């Protein structure tokens, strides 16, 4: 049996959020778990921002790589590219 915790069993922290009443009423009527929805939304936003940060931090290397490919081509020609 594994001793590692699954993502769902990770430690939780209580927080206070301010959410529009109409949104909460609709969520409740649809049976949406607000905590899970908020956590999912935050996780997706974090992933998006981390990806944006990575692209910004690595833009120079990506541009240099693309410039080298434009000037000299790829090191190997892929099979699908033909000759």
27-72 pLDDT per residue, tens = 999 999 999 999 999 999 999 999 999 999 999 999 999 999 999 9
Which tens digit of pLDDT belongs to each residue from 7-27? Answer: 667 899 999 999 999 999 999
Reading the block at residue 51, the tokens are 């990806």
Residue count of the chain? 83
d(CA 40, CA 30): 17
User: Residue 9 has what pLDDT?
Assistant: 74
pLDDT at 74: 85
What pLDDT does 17 receive? Answer: 94
Q: Residues 6 or more apart from 48 whose CB is under 8 A from it? A: none
Q: In the structure encoding, which two tokens stand for residue 48, read together?
A: 């998006």
pTM: 0.69
The shares of helix, strand and coil residues in the chain, as percent rounded to the nearest 5, are: 65, 0, 35
């Amino acid at each position: 049996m594994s001793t590692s915790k699954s993502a769902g069993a990770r430690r939780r922290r209580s927080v206070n959020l301010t959410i529009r009443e109409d949104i909460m009423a609709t969520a409740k009527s649809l049976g949406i778990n607000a905590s899970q929805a908020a956590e999912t939304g935050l996780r997706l936003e974090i992933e998006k921002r981390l990806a944006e940060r990575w692209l910004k931090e690595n833009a120079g290397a990506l541009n240099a790589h693309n410039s080298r490919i434009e000037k000299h081509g790829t090191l190997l020609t892929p099979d699908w590219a033909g000759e």
